[in-house]
Amino acid sequence: MNQDYIVPNNWSIIEEGFDAERIKSSESLFSIGNGAMGQRANFEESYSGETFQGSYIAGIYYPDKTKVGWWKNGYPEYFAKVLNAPNWIGIDIEINGENLDLNTCTEVKNFERELNMKEGWYHRSFEATLKNGTQIKVDVRRFLSLDSDELGVINYEITPLNKDAKIVYKPYIDAGVKNEDANWEEKFWEPLDTKHSDNEAFVVARTFKTHFNVATYMSNSIFLNGKNLNSTPVNVEATSEKILFVYETEAAKGEKSSIQKFGGYTVSLNHENSQLISAAQSVIVKANAKGYEVLLQEQIDAWSKIWEMSDITIDGDVKAQQGIRFNIFQLNQTYLGKDSRLNIGPKGFTGEKYGGSTYWDTEAYCIPFYMATKDQQVARNLLTYRYNQLDKAIENGEKLGFTNGAALFPMVTMNGEECHNEWEITFEEIHRNGAIAFAIYNYHRFTGDYSYIPEKGLEVLIAIARFWHQRATLSTLKDQFVILGVTGPNEYENNVNNNFYTNYLAKWCIDYAVEQIEKVEKEYAADYSRIISKTKLETAEIINWKKVADKMYLPYSEEHDVYLQQDGFLDKELVKVHDLDKSQRPINQKWSWDRILRSPYIKQADVLQGFYFFENHFSKEQLERHFDFYEPFTVHESSLSPCVHSIQAATLGRMEQAYTFYLRTSRLDLDDYNKEVEEGCHITSMAGTWMSIVEGFGGLRVKNDSLHFEPKIPEQWQGYSFKINFRNQILQVFVNANETKFTLEGTQELTVYVNGKAVLVEPNTLVTV
């Protein structure tokens, strides 16, 4: 953890000073993305120090050959993973004959990075003295256009400070990239074609095996003191995978020389292969027509619209404010909800770790954020993503021995194929299936849009119910159904029997599927017969499902009056985390795996995840008892842990604890709690941060088609506000220690409930409670 790394600021992420040790961490934190592509904050100019180069294109993946120690039946031979894409940002720079490289300059001062979240751009500036004695000032601004999501923009300015300078710009595009996360150090890109003319260049490459074609392009202009010199390259260096232009220019001491580079990708997901270069040309034409200043203003406007809906303000706590905005900003950089083929990778566009793009994080943590801050189509696209992968989930089930259309959705995926290869997770962390069903329920609960279920959702629910029915087995000893050999959300337990969360969710999935079948049968007859005919569902089958749900075993301790995380939990040595020597933590770094497994320590909410999903099934007393029983054993070594506990602590009125959890979730990356931010940011848990405020402090719940609030505020804050798109009505909520205020956009009134009391909110009128 490093609390002094990032300068506190309401709207920007700022780093001051050049520290080679922090390069990789800052490359993660200052990453930019526009939903369609993104990249780590690598330098444009060459850098010979340690760096982690990464550019990524949404939806472009590679089926890397599996690497395992010992093969287990059922493992996928290949799995799709996030792919480092060709580099379009590179600009090698020569100053008076010397290559600019911050790692070899004799002095670097006033180095600063700023990620301006309000306006959606990244800026870097510094003064450097080269070995040849030339001093220069550099200012670089870069952004990825939200409006034209195939376009990236760089404005790179150099001012010689102590003498005139001959400046050579060598912008390039390069498909010769490697993945940090490749299993076998293979190349994933095959160059197909290059083209260049005047100031434009194109490299077309395709991924091996998956054959995604991508044109990477650039278009460059050289300026002096803001005036376009209309330069053309004096030289072009071209190979089959890289094109580099050489521009020579001179700047007198104090003059501002600059290069504007437009670049990005056009990809075969969105264009015909044969049209990739012409599509890129058309992006360039439009960008040149607008010019840099207009593009920047459009970017500012586009981000302004996003913030208008999704901003959360916090008064009196800059670090908390910066934290929540960083989380909201990153989520919007990663996924904008326009395309149901895309999803939210755990590292977004900030790194490669964790392989694929889609985890149960999406359903359990991200959907609430997108439902409340976007049009409902966005969440619907996330649900549709799984619907479109249902066939592969059924195949995945078959691979593991399930039949009759039972689906097991993958633990990690890009395209529906399983991307994970640890048996205890891949085969056993099956609760993910439950989260996918829960998201359908949650979507309907929040948006009121039932149409998704007859159109698509019911098929998913049936396939999931079939899975649970087959996966449970009858214990003749207990005369109840048991679910053996699972891993729950708490991955510090593997291959356990009767994980409460999994069993409860399985039972709920079946019950919910049966309810929806009945409802669709009654109310959507045409859909019903289509689905019945497609799934070959029979009444007898449903009766068998119900037997499982009705007789599902849930481990319980009479002594402690709590559900047990799994069979045998009470046989453990129940030493609380608080009583564990600090030198032993984090246990995932200090302890061997077997020791972790036999300990009582919980990585992230497990039983409590069940209480989070199904809060309304339990009394507040039950929640309190379970929270008091399990939280003391929880080490929160997953980025997904603090948010759920923050919400529950707030629900129980334990504001100090809720606030501590909140800080941990919201500044996890900014303060680098786990000393791993150099691998990328924890994108999906950022949605949990949003939930901590809205559901935790704000106490937002949807019950009976209405919004309910139980507003609370941490002592450290003077006030906070957030906005909710509830069924196309935009409600803003302001909370301070004394009162809660609401404003409503539009023309229709809305009744909300505050601490159980109905409050009528008239449009465009401040209501204070």
Which DSSP category does 454 fall into? I
In whole angstroms, what is the distance from residue 460 CA to residue 739 CA?
43
Toward a copy of itself, which CB reaches closer, 597 or 623? 597
CB crowding 172-210: b at 16 or more within 10 Å, else e: bbbbebebebbbeeebbbebbebbbeebbbbbbbbbeeb
478 near a copy of itself (CB under 8 A): yes
Task: Choose one: 6-14, 206-214, 475-483, 741-749; the region binding a copy of itself (CB under 8 A).
Answer: 475-483
Among 418, 459, 491, 695, the one annotated catalytic: 491
Q: Is 109 marked as a binding-site residue?
A: no
Minimum CB separation from a copy of itself for residue 393, in Å?
15
The reply on whether position 477 binds a copy of itself by CB under 8 A is yes
The answer on whether 603 is annotated among ligand-binding residues is yes
Distance CA 641, CA 604 (A): 4
Asked if 594 interacts with a copy of itself (CB under 8 A), we say: yes
Strands 213-224 and 235-238, bridge-based pairing: unpaired
Nearer CB in complex with a copy of itself: 161/597: 597
Angle at 134 between CA 128 and CA 138, to 5 degrees: 40
* Measured CA distances, 638 to 362, 599, 635, 674, 689 (Å): 15, 16, 8, 10, 13
Tell me how far apart the terminal alpha carbons of the chain are, to the nearest angstrom: 40
Considering only the stretches 101-109, 217-225, 376-384, 569-577, report the one whose residues sit in contact with a copy of itself under the rule CB under 8 A: 569-577
Separation of alpha carbons 32 and 88, rounded Å: 14
Number of residues that bind a copy of itself (CB under 8 A): 50
Among 99, 497, 535, 674, binds a copy of itself (CB under 8 A): 497
The CA distance from 174 to 177, in Å, is 7
- Select the residue interacting with a copy of itself from 292, 427, 500, 613 (CB under 8 A): 427
Contact residue for a copy of itself among 572, 625, 701, 727 (CB under 8 A)? 572
Beta strands in 286-426 (DSSP E): 313-315
CA distances from 159 to 41, 168, 230 (A): 22, 13, 19
Residue 163 interacts with a copy of itself (CB under 8 A)? no
Shortest Cβ 465–a copy of itself spacing (Å): 19
Structure token pair of residue 438: 């829960």
Residue 621 sits in the site that holds a copy of itself (CB under 8 A):
no
**Binding-site member from 246, 300, 302, 474 for a copy of itself (CB under 8 A):** 474
Identify the residue among 303, 329, 370, 423 touching a copy of itself (CB under 8 A). 423
Q: Is 491 a catalytic residue?
A: yes
85-90-96 Cα angle (round to 5): 165
Which one among 163, 253, 595, 620 touches a copy of itself, defined by CB under 8 A?
A: 595
Give yes or no for residue 494 binding a copy of itself (CB under 8 A).
yes
Give the integer Cα–Cα distance in Å for 589 and 633.
17
- The answer to the question of residue 399 lying near a copy of itself (CB under 8 A) is yes
User: Is 187 marked within a binding site?
Assistant: no
| Options 68, 285, 758, 766; binder of a copy of itself; rule CB under 8 A | 68
Q: Is 571 annotated as a binding residue?
A: no
In the complex, the smallest distance separating the C-beta of residue 594 from a copy of itself, rounded to whole angstroms, is 4
Determine, following the binding rule CB under 8 A, whether residue 588 of this chain makes contact with a copy of itself.
yes
Query: Crossing angle, helix 641-651 and helix 620-630, to 10 degrees?
Result: 140
Which of 72, 211, 536, 675 contacts a copy of itself by CB under 8 A? 72
DSSP SS3 for 597? helix
591 near a copy of itself, rule: CB under 8 A: yes
Q: What is the DSSP letter of 199?
A: T
Residues marked as catalytic: 491
Q: Which residues are part of a known binding site for substrate?
A: 360-361, 603-604
Chain positions contacting a copy of itself, by CB under 8 A: 66-70, 72-74, 399-401, 421-424, 427-428, 473-478, 482, 484-485, 494-498, 559, 567-568, 570-574, 588-598
